[in-house]
Amino acid sequence: MTENRNVKIKVEKLSLIFGKNKESALNLLNQGCSKAEILEKTKCTVGVDRASFEIYEGEVFVIMGLSGSGKSTLLRCINRLHKPTCGHIYINNEDITTKTNKELLEIRRTEMSMVFQNFGLLPHRTIWENAAFGLEIKNEKTGVRHEKAIEALHTVGLDGYENQYPKSLSGGMQQRVGLARAIANNPEVLLMDEAFSALDPLIKSDMQDELLDIQNKLHKTIVFITHDLDEAIKLGDRIAIMKDGVIEQLGTAEEIITSPASEYVQAFVEKVDRKTIITAGTLMFQKPVTLLIEKDGPEGALRKMKTESLEVLPVVDKNKKFVGFVWMNDVIHAAKQKHLDLVSVVKTDVPSIHKNYTVEEMLPLISEVRTPLAVVDETNGRLLGVVTQPSLIIESTRFDNEDEISELKEQAKEYFKWKK
C-alpha cells in the first residue's frame, strides 16, 4: 500500500550538532562514539544523529521521544529553523539544505506552517489578526487576509471569536487559533511541535479528535512531535521513536507495540493499553488448514483434523471464500450417517471479522460463540486466517485489570472442557 504513495519529505542521514567544534564531533559520531563521549571530548551536543526516513504525502507522521531526545530539533531542521550539520532534507524532491535564506523564507511562507506547544500567539492582536499572521507576512491584502482567516477559524470551530484577544481564550481555544493560523496559509505540510502537550487531558483529547477531523477534510502532510505514546498512537499513521538523537524505531503503532526494536521502545510500550491496538491481523494464524465445501467429505475432514490435531476447521468454497466452521463431533456424526459432503454440518452462523479488528472489539465475540474467529478479506470475503481463543486470551492476560484476566481464564477453561 505504501509503495505507491508519494514521498513528501525525505530525510537522509541528517545530523545536527550544537557547539563550536562541529567537524571533529561529526568525525567521532561517524566513528560510532556515543553522545556522552562526544560531549566530553568536543563539548558539542549531538541533537540529531544520522536520521533517515521518508514521510508520505497526506500522512500523519509522529516523532516521539522524551525531552532531550532531539525530536523538536529534528522538526526544526525540516523548516530550517535549525541548520543541519550534515545530511539532506528533500521536500517535494527539492533539497532544502542548500537553499539560500531568501528561498527559505519563501518555503516557510508557502509550503509549511508550524504549530507551537505554547501557542506562540501575539497577545496584542485579535484572534483573526493572529490567524492571518502568515498571510500578513506574505503581504496579502487586508481583505483577503480577513476572509481567509475567518475561513480557517471556522474550520477549527472558532466562529464568533474573531475580534477577541488571545488572553480571553482558554488554552484549548488558543491552540485552535494556532492551528487556524497554520491552516490559513494553506500549506502542504503542517509541523506540530508538542502542539497539545500544554493542554489538560480532556481538552487534549478533544483537540486530537479535532485534528483528525480536520485532517480528514484537508489531507495535509502532518509531522507531529509528542512525548506521549497514547497521543502518538491515536494520531500517527506511522511513528518514529527517538532517543539521544537517534531514530530507534519507525513503524505503525502496531508494529512498534508488537515488536519493539529496543529496550527503550519496550519501556515506552509497556504502559500502553494493547487491547486497543493489537489487531486480528497480528494475532491470526495465517493460511490455516481449510476444508473445501465442494470437495471434502466427512472422512477427509476427520483425517485432516487428526493430522492437525484440531477439533475445529474452517470451511471455504473454491474461491477461498469463508463459509463456516465444522466441529469434530458433527463430522463424526455425519460420517456415521454416511453423508458425502459437509453441507449439513457446517456452522455458518459464526462471526467473521476483518484484519483491523482490535482485541477490544474481538473479546465480546468470543464470549458469545465458542469458536475461533475467522478473519476475512473486507472486499472479497476470502479467508485470511483464524484467531483462536487461546491466542486471544494470552493476549488479554497482559491486561492490567485482574478481574478481566480471571474472567477470561474461566472462559478459557470452559472452552477447553467443551472441546473434549
Cell numbers placing 225? 512531535
Q: Residue 119, interface with other proteins (CB under 8 A)?
A: yes
Among 81, 218, 332, 369, binds other proteins (CB under 8 A): 81
Q: Residue 198, interface with other proteins (CB under 8 A)?
A: no
Q: In 10 A of CB 362, how many CB atoms?
A: 23
Q: Residue 152, interface with other proteins (CB under 8 A)?
A: no
- Closest distance between other proteins and the C-beta of residue 138, in Å? 7
Specify the stretch interacting with other proteins by CB under 8 A; choose among 59-67, 103-111, 155-163, 206-214: 103-111
- Closest distance between other proteins and the C-beta of residue 263, in Å? 34
Q: Residue 79, interface with other proteins (CB under 8 A)?
A: yes
- Closest distance between other proteins and the C-beta of residue 123, in Å? 7
> Sign (positive/negative) of CA torsion 362, 367, 369, 370?
positive
- Closest distance between other proteins and the C-beta of residue 164, in Å? 15
Q: How many residues sit close enough to other proteins to count as binding (CB under 8 A)?
A: 28
Q: Residue 116, interface with other proteins (CB under 8 A)?
A: yes
Q: Residue 185, interface with other proteins (CB under 8 A)?
A: yes
Q: What are the b/e assignments for 169-192, b being 16+ CB within 10 Å? A: bebbbbbbbbbbbbbbbebbbbbb
Among 23, 41, 66, 122, binds other proteins (CB under 8 A): 122
Specify the stretch interacting with other proteins by CB under 8 A; choose among 37-45, 111-119, 294-302, 330-338: 111-119
Among 48, 63, 89, 107, binds other proteins (CB under 8 A): 107
- Closest distance between other proteins and the C-beta of residue 75, in Å? 10
Strand partners, 249: 241
Among 47, 65, 70, 134, binds other proteins (CB under 8 A): 134
Region 235-264 residues binding other proteins, contact defined as CB under 8 A: none
Q: Residue 196, interface with other proteins (CB under 8 A)?
A: no
Nearest to 178 by CA among 165, 198, 201, 195: 195
Q: Residue 105, interface with other proteins (CB under 8 A)?
A: yes
- Closest distance between other proteins and the C-beta of residue 352, in Å? 49
Contact 71, 63 (CB under 8 A): yes
Please report where in the chains the cell 488554552 appears, as a residue.
171
What's the CA gap between 42 and 22, in Å, rounded?
Answer: 8
- Closest distance between other proteins and the C-beta of residue 61, in Å? 18
Among 35, 108, 243, 275, binds other proteins (CB under 8 A): 108
Interface map 2-41 toward other proteins (x if CB under 8 A): ----------------------------------------
Among 54, 136, 140, 151, binds other proteins (CB under 8 A): 136
Q: Which C-beta is closer to other proteins: that of 158 or that of 331? A: 158
Strand partners, 112: 189
- Closest distance between other proteins and the C-beta of residue 124, in Å? 5
- Closest distance between other proteins and the C-beta of residue 95, in Å? 19
**What Cα–Cα distance (Å) separates residue 277 from each residue in 18, 45, 253?**
38, 36, 7
Q: In 10 A of CB 345, how many CB atoms?
A: 22
Q: Residue 113, interface with other proteins (CB under 8 A)?
A: yes
- Closest distance between other proteins and the C-beta of residue 49, in Å? 23
Listed as own residue / partner, the contacts of 409-412 with beta carbons closer than 8 Å and 24 or more positions apart are: 411/366, 411/367
Contact 323, 317 (CB under 8 A): yes
Q: Which C-beta is closer to other proteins: that of 19 or that of 281? A: 19
Q: Residue 146, interface with other proteins (CB under 8 A)?
A: no
Q: Which C-beta is closer to other proteins: that of 169 or that of 291? A: 169
Binding site for other proteins (CB under 8 A): 79, 81, 104-110, 113-114, 116-124, 133-134, 136-138, 181, 185, 191
